[in-house]
């Protein structure tokens, strides 16, 4: 698989950093054994897929809390500069989970039927990570200077970030982000995944969609993933992709292989992962201190729990 296709696949991974889940592999079955379950054992939906790295990442709810805290600190800073802004709504509180449902490409039939290969959320967000687009284009020069500042005169966003980072120990976030991407790339060449991908390709050929690799299906130039327009052909192809991932065992086998590799990396780099956990714990404490006061934040000794590993992978 070339780097362009790797980039397409990895770009669909949502990745904010955080804590640890150590679990065993799902039970493996013979290539010629009983009918394969459509998902890894213990999971009823692709949205439930969990990897050992996940609890070192920020869940959707934790990210939302962090954005709220940053917003509060930014607004206080702007008040001190006599600037008043109506920020976009951050939306309702999301679930306390990390979503891997698109890590291996589309994997949820309902989402594929509605959105094809497009991300369900859509949009690219503003520079403050609020998830809205175009909001900052209407800012005046004074408002933009107050928010973003310059290298010599930092703006309120940077001021808010510096406050949230107070007392937070260092951690190698860049290394972790690289590893999170590399485990995806490395496992795709393992024998079990290669065999499952061949079965996926056969299934797609029979369905009239001759793609050599799942990333080629996502990266088909017929789909303009930056456009809000989603064609019926894209939806049809994406649904076939999901069905073939399930019937071929590709989703299950790829997830199992990556679970094993990530667990091994955690064991070999225990100190690095402990630093990541401490970093997140301290930053989350600062977030809660801004939102709820120091008394409640003082009770945070561990990151908020990520979604649980299912029965086939222990730790539920």
What pTM, to 2 d.p., does this model score?
Answer: 0.74
pLDDT in tens, the chain (316 residues): 444 444 444 444 433 333 333 333 333 333 333 344 556 654 556 667 899 999 999 999 999 999 999 999 999 999 999 999 999 999 999 988 888 989 999 999 999 999 999 998 643 444 444 444 577 788 899 999 999 998 889 999 999 999 999 999 999 999 999 999 999 999 999 999 999 999 999 999 999 999 999 999 999 999 999 999 999 999 999 999 999 999 999 999 999 999 999 999 999 999 999 999 999 999 999 999 999 976 544 544 444 443 333 333 333 2
Q: How far apart are CA 251 and CA 142, in angstroms?
A: 50
On the CB side of 125, CA atoms within 13 Å amount to 9
Write down the H helix ranges in 91-165.
109-115, 141-148, 156-164
- Determine contact, residues 191/256, Cβ cutoff 8 Å: no
């Amino acid at each position: 698989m070339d780097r362009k296709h790797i980039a397409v696949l990895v770009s669909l991974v949502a990745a904010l950093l955080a804590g640890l889940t150590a679990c065993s592999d799902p039970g493996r079955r013979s290539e010629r054994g009983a009918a394969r379950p459509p998902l890894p054992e213990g999971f009823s939906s692709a949205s439930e897929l969990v990897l050992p790295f996940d609890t070192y990442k920020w869940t959707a709810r934790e990210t939302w809390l962090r954005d709220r805290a940053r917003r509060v600190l930014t607004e206080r800073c702007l008040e001190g500069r006599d600037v008043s802004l109506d920020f976009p709504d951050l939306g309702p509180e999301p679930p306390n989970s990390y979503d891997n449902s698109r890590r291996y490409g589309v994997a949820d039939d309902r989402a594929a039927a509605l959105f094809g290969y497009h991300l369900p959320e859509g949009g690219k967000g503003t520079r403050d990570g609020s998830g809205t687009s175009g909001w900052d284009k209407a800012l005046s020069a004074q408002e933009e200077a107050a928010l973003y500042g310059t290298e010599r005169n930092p703006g309120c966003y940077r001021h808010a970030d510096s406050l949230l980072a107070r007392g937070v120990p260092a951690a190698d976030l860049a290394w972790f982000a690289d590893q999170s991407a590399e485990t995806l790339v490395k496992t795709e060449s393992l024998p079990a995944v290669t065999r499952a991908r061949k079965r996926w390709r056969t299934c797609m050929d029979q369905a009239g969609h001759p793609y050599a690799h799942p990333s080629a299906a996502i990266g088909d130039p017929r789909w303009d993933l930056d456009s809000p327009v989603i064609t019926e052909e894209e939806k049809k192809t994406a649904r076939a992709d999901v069905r073939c991932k399930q019937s071929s065992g590709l989703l299950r086998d790829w997830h199992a292989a990556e679970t094993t590799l990530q667990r091994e990396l955690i064991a070999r780099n225990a100190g690095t992962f402990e630093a990541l956990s401490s970093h997140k714990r301290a930053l989350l404490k600062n977030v809660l201190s801004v939102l709820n006061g120091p008394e409640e934040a003082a009770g945070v000794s561990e990151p908020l729990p990520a979604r649980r590993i299912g029965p086939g992978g222990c730790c539920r």
